[in-house]
Structures are given as C-alpha cells and as structure tokens.
Chains A and B, each alone.
Chain A
Amino acid sequence: MKLNELTAHEILDGLQAKTITAQAVTACVKEVIQAQDKKIHAYAHTDDAAIAPDAAMAGKYPIPIAIKDNICIKDYPTTCSSHILKGFRPPYDATVVRKLREAGLIFLGHANMDEFAFGSSTESSCYGVTKNPWNLACVPGGSSGGSAAAVAGNEAIWALGSDTGGSIRQPASFCGVVGLKPTYGRVSRYGLIAFASSLDQIGPITKDVTDCAILLNLIAGHDELDSTSANVPVPDFTQSLKKDVKDLKIGIPKEYFIEGVDAEVKQSVLEAINNLKAQGASFVEISLPHTEYAVATYYILATAEASSNLARFDGVQYGLRCQPEQQRRTPIIDLYEETRHQGFGAEAKRRIMLGTYSLSSGYYDAYYLKAQKVRTLIKQDFDEAFKACDAIITPTAPTTAFKLGEKTSDPLSMYLSDIYTISVNLAGIPALSLPCGFAKNGLPIGLQIMGKPFDEEMLFRIGYTYEQSTDWHKRRAVL
C-alpha cells in the first residue's frame, strides 16, 4: 500500500518501528495532491508553504491533515469558500488548530466546502464543485465535502470538518470514510466561523474508527475562549476500542426505515444490525415520533442563527468591499447592500433571507419561537429513547451520493437529503458515520450510530466492533 493510503495509526506504528519517515509520508501526500486534485478539487487552498514548517515533523503526531475552510489558521487564507471573505487571513488560530499544531500535525491546506457550510453537496463553493473520489460524476456530499473527498481520495490522512445538520456525517457516508459529530460542547468552536451557534460542532473525518478516536483525543476538551464548550472530563477515547458489544442494547427508530430510504441502503444497514446481533448486541425498536418535523425545525433555527451570524460580513472590516455605480440609499447602506449582493452566492442569500424573515416582526412567534418549541419535543424524543437503549442505529443518508447538479435547482430536495442527520444537531447528541457497504453502482453506504450526550465512547465501541468484522474501511477509491 502507498504511504498516502495508510491510516494514521499505521503511520504511527511505522514511525515507531522506523520503517517509514514522517517526511516521506508528507511528501507522498503532497505529490498526490499535485497530481490528482484537479480531478477531485478537494482543496480550496494548498498554495502556502508557511503552514507546514519542517520543525513540525518533530512532533508526536506528524500526520498530514486537511482543515475545512471555515476553521481559522493564523495568517492563512480562511474564506468559508465565499467571495465575501476572499483575501481574508485570520490574525489567530482556532483552538483546534492550536491543539493540532502542538501535537505536531502537518497542515496541507484548507478543504473546499459549501459556501458558509450552506449545502449538502459542496456545489455552492466560490471555488467550484468538489467531486466524489468513488465516482467523479457524483457529489461528495456536504458541506464538509472537500474534507471527506480529501481523505477518501488519499489526499490527506485526516481531515477536520464541521457539522451543523449533518455536514460531517453525510459527506463521510457518501465518500466511504468515518466521520464524527461530537456532542455539542465537546470540542471548542473558538475560531470556527459561525453558521448556527447552537448547532455547530467541529469533528474528525478519518479512514477508520481507530483514527477517529485518536483525532478526537487531540481536539476535545473545555476551552475558556468558547463559553459554550462543556467543562466535563475527557476520557482517552482509544480505550473504548477495546470493549465489545455484548449486553449492549441498541435502538432502531421505526421512523427512519419508512418510504424514501433506498433499498440497498436499507439492506446494508440491516446486515450491519445482524452483524452486531451475532456479536452479542440486542436490538429494540424505539420511536422518535417527531422525526418528520426535524427538517422544517432545523431550517428555521439554523437560518435564523445564520442570518444573525453573517451580519458581520458587511464590507467594513475584512474581505470584499463593493459600492454600486449609482447611489441607491446612503453611501454606508449602499456599501453593505452591494458588498453582500456581490459577495454572497445564491444559497447564502436564500438562507440569510429565510432567517431574517422568521426573525422579523410579526413572524417571530409563528416561525422562530414555534421551531424552538418543536426542538424541545425532538430532544425529549431522544431523552425518552435512551431510557431503553445504549445507542441508536440508522442509515446516515437515505441514498448513496447523488449526481452533480441533480438537486441544485430544487433547494427543498437538497435540504431533505439531511433527513437522518439533522435531529442529532437539534438534540445536541453525538453521532458517528462509518462505511457499511457499497451499492451496485460502486458508491459507499454509511451507517449512523447515535449516542447519549458525552458518550462518544459508546459510538467508538460499537463502531469499532462492527468495523473489525468487515473490510469496508480498507477499500480505497481508485482514480
């Protein structure tokens, strides 16, 4: 196997045994990026040597990593793949970036994404679309599509993504890699450019469950710079890989296996359930009765928070500044309105508008407040379900990766592709996506495991036990 196809734990073993060097691994990954990224376009920016000093090779974890373009790297272009932030270089590191620097990781660049993480296909980036390494005519999923495609295309060993409604798990599923949305508050959001502050969470995208646990170890923990990060103990997540699933009770929500789910996806998930049964887990049918309201609730709350968070991009401080040719209102209002007209893409405008509408006078109670109340019901569904089980298993997405352009003209159908991932963010719980098969068309299928708040250990325990009895995670996309 080529060096760029290795997992991080294989690389770390090789370094210890002195069979490989960190320099050789990094050089190999960078060569592959040079040679093939024009096909996949996983990266928004790779063109700056300043972020990978040789001194970093001396660190404990010299693993080449791709960072989503909405996570700040000091003095490095960080743009949320939006025109409005072109040229912006943050004056500070995100907390996760600082932690990874300290661990000695090698930053490869910023991974492409849907503009401001608004999307499920990585087709709304101002740098152009990212393609699925398993089939270049298909989307990689989104919004962390560049991160997932970089790992699946062997153009990075690890990647960081962010997940507001499924943006780590759905692309991990579409690209046949492992992705974790940690519990809200588990990982610091300091330096993550905010989309929806009550839902956003940074998480790992890796080639297998072991790597996912190692990377979560490096980024988790309380941070006084993020007042929403939780001050709770952080276990060594790799310890949970040693436990089996005997005596565990896993819930299957009946609402997730109804019409709309692709037959092959359903079949693969049922086979994974049988696999875990054979290894000693028991299964129980549960109900999450408000599932059908999750997408509507999410698109009110997430867009309302986004409309407020994105108010800061106004042409005053950083990025783009535009002035219309002819004065329309006052010079300063014109500056705001023209900058945002030219700077934001169609989906960003749509979401800011929808959010502004639901927060506006006369509509607040009917939309925003109502959605906050339904969020309570969705959270209560999970509280109730977890009284009867240790974890919940579902498909990550109702289908395999869809074709490029298939859903771009119909925003609602795009939103509905996140139907299985959104509730997790509304409830704030953790969820892991890992490969559980391939469809006849050669595209990967993802299994989602949801857990109780701050019980990522349970997800690793179940995910690892399943993974070790399959070889889906060992397959590599051939370009």
Chain B
Amino acid sequence: MISKKDVQYIAHLSRIHLQESEAEKLTHDLEGILGYIEKLNKLDVSQVKPTSHVLPIENVFRQDIVRPSLNPKDIMKFSVENDGRGSFKVPQVIE
C-alpha cells in the first residue's frame, strides 16, 4: 500500500531527513495506521459538506491604528543566529 520509496518522498515533502532504519519503521507504522483509517471508506459522504471549523468563522478586522508591538531586540534575543541588525542569518538560499 505504501512503499519505502513513498515514505522517503513524503519525508522530503516534510523536510525531514530519514535514516534507512527510520524509513523502514515508518513504512511499517504508516501502513498500519492507514489500514485502520480505511474504515472511513465504509461511509458514503458524497452528500456531506466538510467541516473545517466548528464555530462560524468570519474575518476579523480592527481599526488601522498604531499600537505597541514586540521589540525587535527581544525577538532576536533567543534566535539561533542573527546579524545584530534585526535579521536571521541562514546559509545561501539562491545559487
């Protein structure tokens, strides 16, 4: 149903590197869980509307007025790596 190759592909979509042994274990685990989930196929839901949220959700607006926000210094205090001028440092992104 789900192969180790599929698992490695999903791992890449998830941006998680997997060791071979992890991929093997996950293939087995996901197969079991997806097998259990199959039981939903017993239900005919073709006429049912999906629920993404239980409360009636609407856009929330506020007046466009200035209010206090976090201090950039506080935000950077526990960053992994920053340039001291309010930006996070990362390896080269564009070749």
Contact = CB atoms under 8 A, between A and B. Distances in A.
A89 interface: yes
Contact of A321 (B2, B51, B80): B80
Contacts of A426: 54
A349 B78 contact: no
Contacts of B75: 91
A264 interface: no
Contacts of B30: 350, 353-354, 357
A180 B26 CA distance: 34
Contact of A333 (B15, B26, B71, B79): B15
Q: Is the interface of B mostly helix, strand, loop or mixed?
A: loop
Interface string B39-70: 11001010011111111010010100000001
Interface string A274-306: 000000000000000010110111011000000
B79 A318 contact: yes
Given A293-B39, A354-B33, A356-B13, A376 B78 contact: no
B18 to A, nearest CB: 7
A349 B23 CA distance: 10
B50 A376 contact: yes
A336 B12 CA distance: 10
B12 to A, nearest CB: 8
A48 B29 CA distance: 39
A293 B43 contact: yes
B48 A373 contact: yes
B17 A331 contact: no
Nearest to B37: A296
Interface residues of B, number: 52
A420 interface: no
A220 interface: no
A143 interface: no
Nearest to A185: B55
* Interface hub of B12, B14, B26, B33 (most chain A Cβ within 10 A): B14
A contact face: mostly helix, strand, loop, or mixed = helix
Given A293-B43, A333-B15, A349-B16, A360 B52 contact: no
B6 to A, nearest CB: 8
Contact of B17 (A87, A314, A338, A346): A338
A27 interface: no
Contacts of B71: 91
A377 B43 contact: yes
B90 to A, nearest CB: 6
B62 to A, nearest CB: 7
Contact of B40 (A91, A297, A340, A427): A297
Interface residues of A, number: 71
Given A297-B40, A353-B14, A411-B32, A316 B45 contact: no
Interface centre among A311, A317, A335, A350 (most CB of B within 10 A): A317
Contacts of A374: 40, 43, 45, 48
A341 interface: yes
A309 interface: no
A352 interface: yes
B10 A356 contact: yes
Contact of A89 (B50, B78, B81): B78
A367 B29 CA distance: 17
Contacts of A91: 70-71, 74-75, 77-78
B40 A370 contact: yes
Sorted from nearest, which 4 A-B pairs have the closest CB atoms?
A428-B54, A372-B50, A331-B91, A341-B17
Interface of B: 2, 7, 10-19, 22, 25-26, 29-30, 32-34, 36-37, 39-40, 43, 45, 48-55, 57, 60, 62, 70-71, 74-75, 77-81, 88, 90-93, 95
24 contacts: A87-B78, A89-B77, A224-B60, A299-B37, A324-B17, A337-B12, A340-B16, A341-B18, A344-B16, A346-B22, A350-B26, A353-B7, A353-B11, A353-B16, A353-B30, A371-B40, A373-B48, A373-B50, A373-B51, A374-B40, A376-B48, A412-B32, A426-B54, A428-B54
Given A91-B70, A297-B40, A340-B15, 4 more contacts: A300-B40, A321-B81, A332-B92, A353-B30
